[in-house]
């Protein structure tokens, strides 16, 4: 009689919810989620963003309430964006101590204190009348070094407003070093820098431009990364680390999970990923049509981003997911 060879059955570890939960390799936690919020100047009620169902441009009052809700849900961070009433060629409102973003920072810090990491976007695209992330040269190109001077000013006014972490997102060469030096020289050594290390010139940013009232005509391909390339992300990582980045980021997330994995494998500092407006809008639009299971899709996309190596995820679903996780 021959020896019976046992059948290897990986499915044994998939049989029940309890078994699947026990052996899950990747888990989500509220503290790993960061909620982007938009504060708009000069409005009396929150303004819905039509291309991002469920997302609004906040008044200062509604922003405080949203920040408190996020804190109570256990969300780890809040990333603030300002939408000014006036734009100009150099983005003056970005460095106005009483500009909308600086007001928003003060409001949110007063509301949540140190219970949530309060972060701010450090870029000029929301404030310029041409919609680019920097100051333009005479030929219409973005002047890298002139832009860095503006970023240094922005970093200091945001720190003086009380922010815990700044996020330079314009993809200017040397931005992390300049921001770090400006913060240190102004006595804000404890303000951390979340570097937008690999930010691609992506079609997934479309709805975001509505959210921040961007005036952009054309594109940002001359300074954001080419979606065809991956090696340059690792070069950007090396540079940002050498310049003093405390955290690094890949943006967008879902179409760039390969980049996220490579960055995460090499980074000695925490790695964030931004599940951007277009990723959010696609899921919401398909769910509204009844084509997908919305809740499952949200959890699956976030899990995939974490599985690819993100330690933190910026997502517009941060509060909803955090509340769900706390009930499990």
| DSSP at 141 | S
Q: How confident is the model at residue 212 (pLDDT cuts 50, 70, 90)?
A: confident
Q: What is the value of pTM for the model shown? A: 0.94
What does the pLDDT read at residue 216?
65
Which candidate in 199, 221, 289, 324 is catalytic? 199
Q: The domain at 27-327 falls in which architecture?
A: Alpha-Beta Barrel (3.20)
Per-residue pLDDT for 221 more than 80? no
**Nearest one of 225, 97, 241, 248 to 172, comparing CA atoms:** 225
Length of the chain: 328
Instruction: Report the C-alpha dihedral over residues 205, 207, 210, 214, rounded to 10 degrees.
Output: 10
**What is the average pLDDT across 106-133?**
93
The DSSP bridge partners found for residue 251 are 199
Residue boundaries of the structural domains of the chain: 27-327
**Nearest one of 20, 35, 3 to 312, comparing CA atoms:** 35
Which candidate in 65, 221, 251, 324 is catalytic? 251
Instruction: State residue 23 phi and psi, 5-degree precision.
Output: -105, 5
What does the pLDDT read at residue 298?
98
Q: What percent of the chain has pLDDT over 90?
A: 84
Question: Among 103-117, 161-175, 194-208, 238-252, whose mean pLDDT is lowest?
Answer: 194-208
Instruction: State residue 312 phi and psi, 5-degree precision.
Output: -130, 150
Question: Do 312 and 79 touch, CB atoms closer than 8 A?
Answer: no
Per-residue pLDDT for 214 more than 90? no
What does the pLDDT read at residue 1?
57
- Catalytic: 199? yes
Instruction: Summarize pLDDT for 261-277 with one digit per residue, the tens.
Output: 999 999 999 999 999 99
Per-residue pLDDT for 196 more than 80? yes
- Catalytic: 65? no
User: C-alpha distances in angstroms, 122 versus 1, 18, 129, 172, 262?
Assistant: 74, 44, 17, 11, 25
Q: What percent of the chain has pLDDT over 70?
A: 98
């Amino acid at each position: 009689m021959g020896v019976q060879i046992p059948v290897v059955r990986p499915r044994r570890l998939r049989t029940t919810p309890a078994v699947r939960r026990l052996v899950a390799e990747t888990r989500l936690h509220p503290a790993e989620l960061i909620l982007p919020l938009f504060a708009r100047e000069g409005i009396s009620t929150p303004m819905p963003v039509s291309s991002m169902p469920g997302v609004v441009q906040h008044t200062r009052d509604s922003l405080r309430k949203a920040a408190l809700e996020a804190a109570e849900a256990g969300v780890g961070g809040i990333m603030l964006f300002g939408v000014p009433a006036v734009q100009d060629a150099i983005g003056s409102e970005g460095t106005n101590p009483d500009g909308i973003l600086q007001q928003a920072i003060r409001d949110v810090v007063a509301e949540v204190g140190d219970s949530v990491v309060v972060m701010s976007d450090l870029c000029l695209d929301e404030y310029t009348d041409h919609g680019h992330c920097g100051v333009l040269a005479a030929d219409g190109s973005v002047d890298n070094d002139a832009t860095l001077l503006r970023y240094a000013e922005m970093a200091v006014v945001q720190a003086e407003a009380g922010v815990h972490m700044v996020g330079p997102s314009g993809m200017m060469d040397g931005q992390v070093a300049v921001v770090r030096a400006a913060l240190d020289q102004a006595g804000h050594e404890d303000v951390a820098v979340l570097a937008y290390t690999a930010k691609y010139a992506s079609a997934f940013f479309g709805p975001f431009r509505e959210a921040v009232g961007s005036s952009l005509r054309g594109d940002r391909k001359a300074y954001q990364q080419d979606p065809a390339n991956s090696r340059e992300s690792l070069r950007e990582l090396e540079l940002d680390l050498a310049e003093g980045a405390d955290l690094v980021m890949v943006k967008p997330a879902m179409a760039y999970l390969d980049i996220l994995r490579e960055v995460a494998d090499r980074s000695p500092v925490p790695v964030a990923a931004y599940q951007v407006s277009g990723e959010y809008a696609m899921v919401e639009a398909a769910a509204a049509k009844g084509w997908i299971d919305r809740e499952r899709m949200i959890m699956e996309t976030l899990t995939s981003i974490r599985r690819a190596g993100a330690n933190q995820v910026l997502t517009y679903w941060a509060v909803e997911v955090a509340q769900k996780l706390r009930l499990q």
